[in-house]
Chain A
Amino acid sequence: MDYHPNQIIRMIQLGLKEQVLNSSAIWLCLGCETCVARCPNEVDILRVMDTLREMAIEEKIEGKESVIPTFHQTFLYPVRLFGKQYELGMLLLLKWRTRDFFSDLSLGIRMLLKGKLAIIPSRIKGSRQVKEIFDKAKATLEEGRG
Protein backbone atom coordinates (compact mmCIF):
# COMPACT_ATOMS: atom_id res chain seq x y z
CA MET A 1 0.00 0.00 0.00
CA ASP A 2 1.60 3.29 -1.06
CA TYR A 3 -0.28 5.55 1.43
CA HIS A 4 -1.88 4.87 4.80
CA PRO A 5 -5.46 6.02 5.42
CA ASN A 6 -4.33 9.03 7.50
CA GLN A 7 -1.99 10.06 4.67
CA ILE A 8 -4.84 9.88 2.16
CA ILE A 9 -6.95 12.17 4.36
CA ARG A 10 -4.05 14.65 4.65
CA MET A 11 -3.46 14.54 0.89
CA ILE A 12 -7.12 15.38 0.31
CA GLN A 13 -6.77 18.37 2.66
CA LEU A 14 -3.74 19.47 0.63
CA GLY A 15 -5.70 19.16 -2.62
CA LEU A 16 -3.48 16.47 -4.14
CA LYS A 17 -6.36 15.09 -6.18
CA GLU A 18 -4.38 13.52 -9.00
CA GLN A 19 -1.99 11.69 -6.66
CA VAL A 20 -4.83 10.42 -4.51
CA LEU A 21 -6.92 9.15 -7.45
CA ASN A 22 -3.85 7.45 -8.95
CA SER A 23 -2.79 5.80 -5.69
CA SER A 24 -2.76 2.05 -5.05
CA ALA A 25 -4.19 2.71 -1.60
CA ILE A 26 -7.70 3.60 -2.73
CA TRP A 27 -8.03 0.20 -4.44
CA LEU A 28 -6.09 -1.95 -1.97
CA CYS A 29 -8.35 -0.65 0.84
CA LEU A 30 -10.71 -3.56 1.45
CA GLY A 31 -13.06 -1.67 3.69
CA CYS A 32 -12.10 -3.72 6.77
CA GLU A 33 -13.21 -0.69 8.87
CA THR A 34 -10.25 -0.96 11.28
CA CYS A 35 -9.21 2.67 10.74
CA VAL A 36 -12.85 3.81 10.99
CA ALA A 37 -13.24 1.98 14.30
CA ARG A 38 -10.00 3.45 15.72
CA CYS A 39 -9.99 7.01 14.32
CA PRO A 40 -9.96 9.40 17.31
CA ASN A 41 -11.68 12.07 15.21
CA GLU A 42 -14.41 9.69 14.06
CA VAL A 43 -13.67 10.32 10.39
CA ASP A 44 -15.66 7.89 8.22
CA ILE A 45 -12.59 6.95 6.20
CA LEU A 46 -14.33 4.15 4.34
CA ARG A 47 -16.96 6.55 3.02
CA VAL A 48 -14.09 8.77 1.85
CA MET A 49 -12.35 5.79 0.18
CA ASP A 50 -15.60 4.75 -1.54
CA THR A 51 -16.04 8.31 -2.83
CA LEU A 52 -12.46 8.38 -4.13
CA ARG A 53 -12.98 5.08 -5.95
CA GLU A 54 -16.19 6.41 -7.48
CA MET A 55 -14.35 9.57 -8.57
CA ALA A 56 -11.52 7.54 -10.14
CA ILE A 57 -14.06 5.46 -12.10
CA GLU A 58 -15.94 8.57 -13.23
CA GLU A 59 -12.71 10.18 -14.38
CA LYS A 60 -11.62 6.92 -16.04
CA ILE A 61 -8.36 6.83 -14.08
CA GLU A 62 -7.07 3.25 -14.24
CA GLY A 63 -4.16 3.69 -11.82
CA LYS A 64 -1.67 1.00 -10.86
CA GLU A 65 -4.21 -1.49 -9.55
CA SER A 66 -6.57 -1.76 -12.51
CA VAL A 67 -7.15 -5.44 -11.75
CA ILE A 68 -9.19 -4.45 -8.66
CA PRO A 69 -11.74 -2.15 -10.36
CA THR A 70 -11.95 -4.83 -13.06
CA PHE A 71 -12.79 -7.35 -10.33
CA HIS A 72 -15.56 -5.10 -8.91
CA GLN A 73 -17.07 -4.66 -12.36
CA THR A 74 -16.85 -8.40 -12.99
CA PHE A 75 -18.36 -9.22 -9.59
CA LEU A 76 -21.38 -7.03 -10.28
CA TYR A 77 -21.99 -8.28 -13.83
CA PRO A 78 -23.79 -11.54 -12.90
CA VAL A 79 -25.69 -9.71 -10.15
CA ARG A 80 -27.10 -7.33 -12.77
CA LEU A 81 -28.07 -10.26 -15.03
CA PHE A 82 -29.41 -12.79 -12.54
CA GLY A 83 -30.04 -10.80 -9.36
CA LYS A 84 -27.57 -13.06 -7.53
CA GLN A 85 -23.92 -13.92 -7.75
CA TYR A 86 -22.89 -16.68 -10.20
CA GLU A 87 -19.44 -17.56 -8.89
CA LEU A 88 -18.21 -19.85 -11.65
CA GLY A 89 -19.24 -17.46 -14.41
CA MET A 90 -17.74 -14.53 -12.52
CA LEU A 91 -14.43 -16.37 -12.02
CA LEU A 92 -14.17 -17.34 -15.69
CA LEU A 93 -15.03 -13.81 -16.82
CA LEU A 94 -12.42 -12.41 -14.42
CA LYS A 95 -9.82 -14.79 -15.86
CA TRP A 96 -10.69 -13.65 -19.36
CA ARG A 97 -10.64 -9.96 -18.51
CA THR A 98 -7.35 -10.12 -16.59
CA ARG A 99 -5.76 -12.62 -19.01
CA ASP A 100 -4.86 -14.79 -16.02
CA PHE A 101 -5.82 -18.27 -17.14
CA PHE A 102 -3.71 -20.61 -15.04
CA SER A 103 -3.67 -19.52 -11.40
CA ASP A 104 -5.90 -21.41 -8.94
CA LEU A 105 -7.03 -23.96 -11.51
CA SER A 106 -6.62 -26.90 -9.13
CA LEU A 107 -8.36 -24.96 -6.36
CA GLY A 108 -11.26 -24.25 -8.72
CA ILE A 109 -11.56 -27.91 -9.65
CA ARG A 110 -11.50 -29.00 -5.99
CA MET A 111 -14.26 -26.51 -5.21
CA LEU A 112 -16.35 -27.80 -8.11
CA LEU A 113 -15.89 -31.37 -6.85
CA LYS A 114 -16.91 -30.30 -3.33
CA GLY A 115 -20.09 -28.81 -4.79
CA LYS A 116 -19.03 -25.31 -3.75
CA LEU A 117 -19.52 -23.77 -7.20
CA ALA A 118 -22.80 -24.10 -9.09
CA ILE A 119 -22.39 -24.94 -12.77
CA ILE A 120 -25.65 -23.29 -13.82
CA PRO A 121 -26.63 -19.82 -12.58
CA SER A 122 -29.94 -19.33 -10.80
CA ARG A 123 -31.98 -16.29 -11.76
CA ILE A 124 -34.29 -14.61 -9.25
CA LYS A 125 -37.86 -13.77 -10.27
CA GLY A 126 -37.26 -10.07 -9.78
CA SER A 127 -34.08 -9.93 -11.87
CA ARG A 128 -35.63 -7.17 -14.03
CA GLN A 129 -36.13 -5.11 -10.89
CA VAL A 130 -32.45 -5.58 -10.01
CA LYS A 131 -31.42 -4.59 -13.53
CA GLU A 132 -33.47 -1.38 -13.14
CA ILE A 133 -31.68 -0.66 -9.85
CA PHE A 134 -28.37 -0.89 -11.75
CA ASP A 135 -29.61 1.30 -14.61
CA LYS A 136 -30.88 4.02 -12.26
CA ALA A 137 -27.63 4.01 -10.26
CA LYS A 138 -25.57 4.29 -13.42
CA ALA A 139 -27.73 7.17 -14.65
CA THR A 140 -27.12 9.06 -11.39
CA LEU A 141 -23.37 8.69 -11.87
CA GLU A 142 -23.63 9.98 -15.42
CA GLU A 143 -25.76 12.97 -14.35
CA GLY A 144 -23.11 13.78 -11.75
CA ARG A 145 -20.42 13.72 -14.38
CA GLY A 146 -22.37 16.10 -16.65
Chain B
Amino acid sequence: MASTAPQTAVNMPAEWRDFLALTKPRVMTLVIFTAICGVLAAPGTIHPIIAFTAILAIAMGAGGSAVLNMWWEADIDAGMKRTMNRPLPGGRMRREDARDFGIFLSGVSVVLMGLAVGWLAAALLFGCITASAEIYTMWLKPRTPQNIVIGGGAGAFPPLIGWVAVTGDITAMPLLLFAIIFFWTPPHFWALALFVQTDYAKVGIPMLPVVAGERATRNQIMGYTLLLAPIAIAPWYIGGTSWIYGSVAVVLSALFVILAMPVFTRTRAEVDAMTPEKTLFKFSILYLFVLFAALVVDRVAAYQGWIA
Protein backbone atom coordinates (compact mmCIF):
# COMPACT_ATOMS: atom_id res chain seq x y z
CA MET B 1 0.00 0.00 0.00
CA ALA B 2 2.76 2.38 0.95
CA SER B 3 4.56 1.83 -2.34
CA THR B 4 1.81 2.59 -4.82
CA ALA B 5 1.24 6.32 -4.31
CA PRO B 6 2.89 8.79 -6.63
CA GLN B 7 5.90 10.39 -5.04
CA THR B 8 5.56 14.13 -4.80
CA ALA B 9 8.73 16.00 -5.64
CA VAL B 10 9.56 17.87 -2.50
CA ASN B 11 12.72 19.93 -2.67
CA MET B 12 12.03 21.94 0.43
CA PRO B 13 12.81 20.44 3.83
CA ALA B 14 9.56 19.57 5.58
CA GLU B 15 8.31 21.97 8.22
CA TRP B 16 8.81 20.69 11.79
CA ARG B 17 5.12 21.36 12.34
CA ASP B 18 4.33 18.72 9.73
CA PHE B 19 6.38 16.18 11.68
CA LEU B 20 4.38 17.13 14.75
CA ALA B 21 1.11 16.80 12.79
CA LEU B 22 2.12 13.23 11.82
CA THR B 23 1.96 12.22 15.48
CA LYS B 24 -1.78 13.07 15.61
CA PRO B 25 -1.53 15.42 18.62
CA ARG B 26 -5.31 15.53 19.13
CA VAL B 27 -5.58 11.75 19.44
CA MET B 28 -2.56 11.89 21.73
CA THR B 29 -4.39 14.07 24.27
CA LEU B 30 -6.69 11.15 25.11
CA VAL B 31 -3.70 8.78 25.24
CA ILE B 32 -1.79 11.10 27.59
CA PHE B 33 -4.87 11.68 29.72
CA THR B 34 -5.64 7.98 30.18
CA ALA B 35 -1.94 7.22 30.80
CA ILE B 36 -1.78 9.92 33.51
CA CYS B 37 -4.94 8.47 35.04
CA GLY B 38 -3.32 5.02 35.06
CA VAL B 39 -0.27 6.44 36.87
CA LEU B 40 -2.33 8.47 39.37
CA ALA B 41 -4.86 5.74 40.10
CA ALA B 42 -2.29 3.00 40.71
CA PRO B 43 -1.50 2.11 44.31
CA GLY B 44 2.06 2.84 45.33
CA THR B 45 4.48 5.67 44.82
CA ILE B 46 6.57 6.78 41.90
CA HIS B 47 9.06 9.63 41.70
CA PRO B 48 7.53 12.55 39.76
CA ILE B 49 10.40 12.57 37.24
CA ILE B 50 10.00 8.84 36.59
CA ALA B 51 6.22 9.32 36.28
CA PHE B 52 6.78 12.17 33.81
CA THR B 53 9.21 10.01 31.82
CA ALA B 54 6.67 7.16 31.73
CA ILE B 55 3.97 9.48 30.37
CA LEU B 56 6.43 10.97 27.88
CA ALA B 57 7.45 7.49 26.66
CA ILE B 58 3.79 6.47 26.25
CA ALA B 59 3.07 9.70 24.33
CA MET B 60 6.12 9.15 22.11
CA GLY B 61 5.11 5.54 21.47
CA ALA B 62 1.58 6.62 20.56
CA GLY B 63 3.03 9.36 18.35
CA GLY B 64 5.39 6.89 16.68
CA SER B 65 2.59 4.46 15.84
CA ALA B 66 0.46 7.37 14.55
CA VAL B 67 3.31 8.39 12.25
CA LEU B 68 3.69 4.81 10.97
CA ASN B 69 -0.08 4.70 10.46
CA MET B 70 0.03 7.89 8.38
CA TRP B 71 3.01 6.60 6.39
CA TRP B 72 1.22 3.34 5.58
CA GLU B 73 -2.14 4.92 4.81
CA ALA B 74 -1.03 7.95 2.79
CA ASP B 75 -2.93 6.67 -0.29
CA ILE B 76 -6.11 6.07 1.70
CA ASP B 77 -5.81 9.46 3.41
CA ALA B 78 -5.51 11.13 0.00
CA GLY B 79 -8.96 9.82 -0.93
CA MET B 80 -10.84 11.05 2.13
CA LYS B 81 -11.97 14.60 2.74
CA ARG B 82 -11.16 14.40 6.45
CA THR B 83 -7.54 13.35 5.88
CA MET B 84 -6.52 14.59 2.41
CA ASN B 85 -4.62 17.59 3.80
CA ARG B 86 -2.37 15.59 6.09
CA PRO B 87 1.37 16.17 5.46
CA LEU B 88 1.91 13.08 3.26
CA PRO B 89 -1.15 13.22 0.96
CA GLY B 90 -0.67 17.00 0.91
CA GLY B 91 2.79 16.41 -0.62
CA ARG B 92 4.58 18.43 2.06
CA MET B 93 6.92 15.65 3.14
CA ARG B 94 8.81 12.68 1.74
CA ARG B 95 7.38 9.28 2.65
CA GLU B 96 10.72 7.87 3.74
CA ASP B 97 11.13 10.73 6.19
CA ALA B 98 7.77 9.92 7.78
CA ARG B 99 8.59 6.20 7.98
CA ASP B 100 12.02 6.81 9.53
CA PHE B 101 10.60 9.35 11.96
CA GLY B 102 7.93 6.86 13.05
CA ILE B 103 10.42 4.02 13.59
CA PHE B 104 12.82 6.35 15.43
CA LEU B 105 10.12 7.76 17.71
CA SER B 106 8.77 4.26 18.52
CA GLY B 107 12.24 2.84 19.19
CA VAL B 108 13.30 5.72 21.43
CA SER B 109 10.04 5.51 23.39
CA VAL B 110 10.52 1.80 24.23
CA VAL B 111 14.18 2.22 25.20
CA LEU B 112 13.39 5.31 27.29
CA MET B 113 10.63 3.43 29.10
CA GLY B 114 12.88 0.43 29.71
CA LEU B 115 15.85 2.40 31.02
CA ALA B 116 13.99 4.93 33.13
CA VAL B 117 10.89 3.07 34.32
CA GLY B 118 11.08 -0.70 33.83
CA TRP B 119 11.18 -3.38 31.19
CA LEU B 120 7.66 -4.76 31.83
CA ALA B 121 6.22 -1.33 31.03
CA ALA B 122 8.59 -1.12 28.04
CA ALA B 123 7.44 -4.55 26.78
CA LEU B 124 3.80 -3.46 27.06
CA LEU B 125 4.61 -0.25 25.19
CA PHE B 126 6.29 -2.30 22.47
CA GLY B 127 3.17 -4.49 22.33
CA CYS B 128 1.00 -1.38 22.08
CA ILE B 129 3.01 0.06 19.17
CA THR B 130 3.08 -3.30 17.38
CA ALA B 131 -0.66 -3.82 17.87
CA SER B 132 -1.41 -0.34 16.58
CA ALA B 133 1.05 0.12 13.73
CA GLU B 134 1.39 -3.42 12.45
CA ILE B 135 -1.51 -5.66 13.48
CA TYR B 136 -4.16 -2.94 13.18
CA THR B 137 -2.93 -0.59 10.45
CA MET B 138 -1.16 -3.03 8.15
CA TRP B 139 -3.02 -6.33 8.59
CA LEU B 140 -6.51 -5.93 9.96
CA LYS B 141 -7.77 -2.51 8.94
CA PRO B 142 -7.78 -3.29 5.19
CA ARG B 143 -9.00 -6.90 5.73
CA THR B 144 -11.76 -7.19 8.29
CA PRO B 145 -14.69 -5.06 9.44
CA GLN B 146 -13.81 -6.02 13.03
CA ASN B 147 -10.59 -4.02 12.49
CA ILE B 148 -11.56 -1.36 14.97
CA VAL B 149 -11.96 -3.87 17.79
CA ILE B 150 -8.25 -4.72 17.62
CA GLY B 151 -7.47 -1.04 17.01
CA GLY B 152 -9.26 -0.40 20.28
CA GLY B 153 -7.01 -2.96 21.91
CA ALA B 154 -4.00 -0.91 20.83
CA GLY B 155 -5.59 2.27 22.17
CA ALA B 156 -6.37 0.54 25.47
CA PHE B 157 -2.74 0.11 26.47
CA PRO B 158 -1.89 3.61 27.86
CA PRO B 159 -3.66 3.37 31.26
CA LEU B 160 -2.40 -0.22 31.65
CA ILE B 161 1.18 0.87 30.95
CA GLY B 162 0.80 3.90 33.25
CA TRP B 163 -0.42 1.64 36.05
CA VAL B 164 2.34 -0.93 35.50
CA ALA B 165 4.95 1.88 35.52
CA VAL B 166 3.97 2.49 39.16
CA THR B 167 3.31 -1.02 40.46
CA GLY B 168 5.64 -3.11 38.31
CA ASP B 169 3.06 -5.90 37.97
CA ILE B 170 -0.21 -6.63 36.17
CA THR B 171 -3.30 -7.10 38.36
CA ALA B 172 -7.07 -7.10 37.82
CA MET B 173 -7.48 -3.31 38.03
CA PRO B 174 -5.15 -2.30 35.17
CA LEU B 175 -6.63 -5.12 33.07
CA LEU B 176 -10.10 -3.66 33.73
CA LEU B 177 -8.91 -0.22 32.61
CA PHE B 178 -7.63 -1.92 29.46
CA ALA B 179 -10.98 -3.67 28.99
CA ILE B 180 -12.93 -0.41 29.44
CA ILE B 181 -11.18 1.26 26.50
CA PHE B 182 -11.27 -1.98 24.52
CA PHE B 183 -15.08 -2.22 24.73
CA TRP B 184 -15.57 1.54 24.49
CA THR B 185 -13.81 1.85 21.14
CA PRO B 186 -16.28 -0.02 18.87
CA PRO B 187 -19.39 2.03 19.77
CA HIS B 188 -17.27 5.21 19.74
CA PHE B 189 -15.73 4.55 16.36
CA TRP B 190 -18.70 2.92 14.62
CA ALA B 191 -20.87 5.91 15.58
CA LEU B 192 -18.32 8.01 13.68
CA ALA B 193 -18.16 5.50 10.83
CA LEU B 194 -21.95 5.75 10.42
CA PHE B 195 -21.85 9.44 9.59
CA VAL B 196 -18.60 9.44 7.56
CA GLN B 197 -19.55 6.19 5.83
CA THR B 198 -19.27 7.51 2.29
CA ASP B 199 -15.63 8.46 2.78
CA TYR B 200 -14.58 5.01 4.00
CA ALA B 201 -16.55 3.36 1.19
CA LYS B 202 -14.72 5.48 -1.38
CA VAL B 203 -11.25 4.33 -0.33
CA GLY B 204 -12.20 0.66 0.15
CA ILE B 205 -11.61 0.33 3.90
CA PRO B 206 -13.95 -2.44 5.10
CA MET B 207 -15.58 -0.44 7.86
CA LEU B 208 -18.52 -2.29 9.35
CA PRO B 209 -21.25 -0.03 7.85
CA VAL B 210 -19.65 -0.49 4.40
CA VAL B 211 -19.41 -4.30 4.35
CA ALA B 212 -22.07 -5.47 6.81
CA GLY B 213 -24.54 -2.63 6.44
CA GLU B 214 -25.96 -0.09 8.82
CA ARG B 215 -28.28 -2.52 10.58
CA ALA B 216 -25.41 -4.78 11.65
CA THR B 217 -23.40 -1.74 12.75
CA ARG B 218 -26.25 -0.40 14.87
CA ASN B 219 -26.71 -3.84 16.46
CA GLN B 220 -23.00 -4.08 17.24
CA ILE B 221 -22.92 -0.57 18.72
CA MET B 222 -25.70 -1.60 21.09
CA GLY B 223 -24.03 -4.92 21.89
CA TYR B 224 -20.68 -3.40 22.78
CA THR B 225 -22.38 -0.61 24.76
CA LEU B 226 -24.20 -3.20 26.87
CA LEU B 227 -20.94 -5.13 27.36
CA LEU B 228 -19.11 -1.94 28.33
CA ALA B 229 -21.47 -1.00 31.17
CA PRO B 230 -20.66 -3.88 33.61
CA ILE B 231 -16.95 -3.65 32.76
CA ALA B 232 -16.91 0.10 33.50
CA ILE B 233 -18.63 -0.52 36.84
CA ALA B 234 -16.45 -3.57 37.66
CA PRO B 235 -13.59 -1.64 39.37
CA TRP B 236 -16.16 -0.64 41.99
CA TYR B 237 -17.70 -4.04 42.68
CA ILE B 238 -14.38 -5.86 42.85
CA GLY B 239 -13.43 -3.33 45.54
CA GLY B 240 -10.77 -1.52 43.53
CA THR B 241 -12.51 1.84 43.95
CA SER B 242 -15.06 3.45 46.25
CA TRP B 243 -18.63 4.64 45.65
CA ILE B 244 -17.30 7.86 44.07
CA TYR B 245 -16.05 6.08 40.95
CA GLY B 246 -18.88 3.55 41.22
CA SER B 247 -21.67 6.13 41.09
CA VAL B 248 -20.03 8.07 38.24
CA ALA B 249 -19.57 4.82 36.28
CA VAL B 250 -23.20 3.80 36.82
CA VAL B 251 -24.57 7.21 35.72
CA LEU B 252 -22.26 7.50 32.71
CA SER B 253 -22.92 3.93 31.57
CA ALA B 254 -26.68 4.45 31.89
CA LEU B 255 -26.39 7.61 29.76
CA PHE B 256 -24.29 5.74 27.21
CA VAL B 257 -26.98 3.05 26.91
CA ILE B 258 -29.74 5.68 26.71
CA LEU B 259 -27.91 7.53 23.90
CA ALA B 260 -27.10 4.28 22.07
CA MET B 261 -30.78 3.24 22.06
CA PRO B 262 -31.95 5.66 19.31
CA VAL B 263 -28.86 4.77 17.25
CA PHE B 264 -29.81 1.10 17.66
CA THR B 265 -33.51 1.41 16.89
CA ARG B 266 -33.65 3.89 14.02
CA THR B 267 -32.81 3.59 10.34
CA ARG B 268 -31.34 6.26 8.13
CA ALA B 269 -33.83 8.54 6.39
CA GLU B 270 -33.45 9.82 2.82
CA VAL B 271 -32.11 13.13 4.10
CA ASP B 272 -30.60 12.57 7.50
CA ALA B 273 -28.58 14.83 9.80
CA MET B 274 -27.47 11.70 11.73
CA THR B 275 -27.96 13.61 14.99
CA PRO B 276 -28.22 10.58 17.36
CA GLU B 277 -25.00 9.11 15.90
CA LYS B 278 -23.14 12.43 16.23
CA THR B 279 -24.45 12.87 19.78
CA LEU B 280 -23.33 9.37 20.73
CA PHE B 281 -19.88 9.95 19.22
CA LYS B 282 -19.40 13.23 21.13
CA PHE B 283 -20.73 11.74 24.36
CA SER B 284 -18.41 8.74 24.05
CA ILE B 285 -15.38 11.05 24.23
CA LEU B 286 -16.80 12.83 27.28
CA TYR B 287 -17.62 9.43 28.81
CA LEU B 288 -14.02 8.27 28.76
CA PHE B 289 -12.61 11.57 30.06
CA VAL B 290 -15.06 11.77 32.97
CA LEU B 291 -14.81 8.05 33.83
CA PHE B 292 -11.02 8.16 34.11
CA ALA B 293 -11.10 11.50 35.92
CA ALA B 294 -13.49 9.90 38.45
CA LEU B 295 -10.97 7.10 38.95
CA VAL B 296 -8.28 9.63 39.88
CA VAL B 297 -10.62 11.64 42.14
CA ASP B 298 -11.54 8.38 43.83
CA ARG B 299 -7.89 7.53 44.52
CA VAL B 300 -7.11 11.06 45.76
CA ALA B 301 -10.13 10.93 48.09
CA ALA B 302 -8.91 7.60 49.47
CA TYR B 303 -5.39 8.93 50.06
CA GLN B 304 -6.72 12.05 51.78
CA GLY B 305 -8.94 9.93 54.00
CA TRP B 306 -12.15 11.61 52.82
CA ILE B 307 -13.71 8.21 52.24
CA ALA B 308 -13.41 5.00 54.18
Chain B associates with chain A: no
| Chain A residues near B (Cβ < 8 Å) | none
